[in-house]
Chains A and B, each alone.
Chain A
């Protein structure tokens, strides 16, 4: 029982990383139909901005992370002007290449400015202890943060007029324009929201990972796995799917070794595609 509990606790910090990255990914996929390979790199930018604020002003991680999250506004704006505006209706291959190019560009710039030496901050290593299992304080906070942001995103999409406009644009941008919705304004807002969500993942990077220029990109596949399991555009689904993938990852790593744990994401994607393709329903409808 203790081991099972520990595996669940181990999953919390992973789940926070996966959920926050997947949330940004699913927003862009669901509304624009664009698979953004640079989503993980957005989080990396947030991480470096947060790190700079901690180093420069000596702020505590969660206070400094506000700057990292705000960096998401600029990141979202860059995505809007560099990828979405010119390529929204372009063939998927152009979109994929553009986002991949953006990812490489971000990594190159970070490497040029900050170098490749890993950046880390000193964080509390204290843990919550229950029934023989340990959960790091930072993991618990990150998990709570991810939960709160997903609920806020759900509220934005399904409980506000802006959310209705976003969903209208996602359904049919031309029809939305005909009924008076400012499509550029809505799409710009969605870009900002997606960028901000991804940059929020910077907290999870800084408390449980070392920052390197490629750290975000290396997590993007697991985030994509979460999106596939949740179903495209399913905001709340990202939450349970992120937790599920994180638990599967942790359990496989524990019982079968680290190398097998790495393959879990691939296995899950293949299984979902074969057994329950409805997880991809949004993608199918987007490609119609």
Chain B
């Protein structure tokens, strides 16, 4: 009798394990079969981290994709054909991302793929999609390596991290839009996008008489960054330059504040200072903080303003950078699809349209270069009192800028 009960419970436990795995992978869904006929749906692959450390960003990216697709479908789709997203969870894991990219590549009904969040997964998965001949738009891969491989099917929508730095903090220092710091502390994640940007800024600092007092590589999903905050405090650096993920900044910045370390400037290569949880947690480091971005909610681009209005009307909240990036990737793909005859929507035709057209998006006019990198604007913004954002760069003669120092 006891034997029977034991077996039953072991089976129940095993079933629970399987059930949990299914729940964890609940973002995945099958594609169904697409015939490619005149009225059949157009299947668009999409993969992103829906589980794991970067799941929040992945969920937001998916929300942006869904919002873009729902807008297109609400107006009749592409040549009367509805768009259907075939979503896969890559868990933020390079191996898994390559595996799900292969699944999407093997699915002949998928005509194009919307990519993932982060260079660490976009680099291996885009190689798989290249081999499968699937046009893929990567919305958040900003490591320079992503476009250095001569790929023909890769279209990288977000500006490279090095490009963002070039046109934001470095340009700002070159044009003296903030006073030149004597010392800088670098904090970067163990990720290709941030390592490349850190190396570039370190080289710039050294050749321009700015002393790099520390260079801190941090790991994700840590319970605390107090040790890093302590190192930063002890250096007394004028400028803390950061290229980290939102969840890391959301711990590190309050911890710097907690130690009463308020440098003259904090710069982030990323969306931290437009991310509400970070902004609400960062305390003394919020007002006066600088961010280099490819898009921000107050962007003057007309398409962006229209997107903000439509998004707020439907979702009753402002979009995050990830949601906007997902939407922008859909914008690009939809315009490419619309440029094709209804009878000629296939992978190669979509690839050629993406490579040759200029697209009007919330990032402004986008044209992909031969290496797959899209042109884009870059903004340097600063958080003002009242948590509004002012644009420092690009400069506008009609709007004089008043730089706020941290802790003012």
Contacts and interface: CB of A to CB of B under 8 A. Distances in A.
Interface of A: 3, 6-7, 10, 13-14, 17, 82-83, 85-87, 90, 94, 97-98, 100-102, 104-109, 111-112, 115-118, 120, 122, 125, 127, 129, 134, 136, 208-210, 212, 214, 218-219, 250-251, 253-254, 257-259, 261-262
A259 B5 contact: no
Given A82-B13, A104-B20, A258-B225, A7 B230 contact: yes
B50 A116 contact: yes
Contacts of B60: 117
B24 A107 contact: yes
B21 interface: yes
A127 B258 contact: yes
B14 interface: yes
Chain B contact residues, majority secondary structure: helix
Contact of B24 (A98, A111, A258): A111
Contacts of B50: 116
Interface of B: 5-6, 8-10, 12-14, 16-17, 19-24, 26, 50-53, 55-56, 58-60, 190, 216-219, 221-228, 230-231, 233-234, 247, 250-251, 254, 257-260, 277, 280-281, 283
9 contacts: A13-B223, A86-B12, A104-B16, A105-B23, A108-B24, A209-B223, A212-B55, A254-B230, A258-B219
Contacts of B247: 118, 210
B230 A6 contact: yes
B16 A13 contact: no
- Interchain residue pairs A-B with the least CB separation, the first 5: A86-B9, A108-B23, A101-B17, A104-B20, A253-B227
Contacts of A87: 6, 9-10, 13
Nearest to A90: B6
Given A13-B223, A214-B52, 10 more contacts: A86-B8, A97-B13, A111-B55, A116-B56, A122-B280, A122-B281, A212-B56, A250-B227, A254-B230, A258-B227
Contacts of B222: 258, 262
A127 B14 CA distance: 47
B224 A13 contact: yes
A10 B224 contact: yes
Contacts of B280: 120, 122
A120 B250 contact: yes
A208 B224 contact: yes
B190 A208 contact: no
Contacts of A250: 226-227
Nearest to B8: A86
Contacts of B216: 257-258
A101 B277 contact: no
Contacts of A108: 19-24, 26
A105 B16 contact: yes
B220 to A, nearest CB: 10
Contacts of B14: 97, 101
A6 B50 CA distance: 37
Nearest to B214: A257
Contacts, number: 155
A259 B251 CA distance: 17
B51 A111 contact: yes
Contacts of B277: 118, 120, 210
Nearest to A204: B223
Contact of A101 (B16, B26, B233): B16
Contacts of A104: 16-17, 20-21, 24
Nearest to B215: A257
A14 B224 CA distance: 7
Nearest to B49: A116
Contacts of B24: 104, 107-108, 111
A116 B55 contact: yes
A209 B224 CA distance: 7
Contacts of A209: 223-224, 251
Interface centre among A127, A129, A134, A261 (most CB of B within 10 A): A134
Contacts of A106: 20
Nearest to B320: A117
Given A125-B254, A208-B223, A253 B228 contact: yes
A87 B254 CA distance: 44
A125 B283 contact: yes
Nearest to B20: A104
A239 B329 CA distance: 52
Given A112-B26, A210-B277, A261 B19 contact: no
Contacts of A94: 10, 13
Contacts of B52: 214
A14 B254 CA distance: 16
A59 B144 CA distance: 48
A209 B259 CA distance: 17
Contacts of B26: 108, 111-112
Nearest to B14: A101
A3 B236 CA distance: 13
A102 to B, nearest CB: 7
Interface centre among B216, B217, B223 (most CB of A within 10 A): B223
Contacts of B53: 212, 214
A109 B257 CA distance: 35
A6 to B, nearest CB: 5
A100 B260 CA distance: 41
B397 to A, nearest CB: 39
B285 to A, nearest CB: 11
B222 to A, nearest CB: 7
Contacts of A257: 216-217
A101 B26 CA distance: 16
Given A108-B24, A134-B260, A10 B230 contact: yes
A143 to B, nearest CB: 13
Contacts of A134: 258-260
Nearest to A101: B17
Contacts of A116: 50-51, 55-56, 58-59
Contact of B20 (A6, A82, A105): A105
A117 B254 contact: no
A49 B401 CA distance: 46
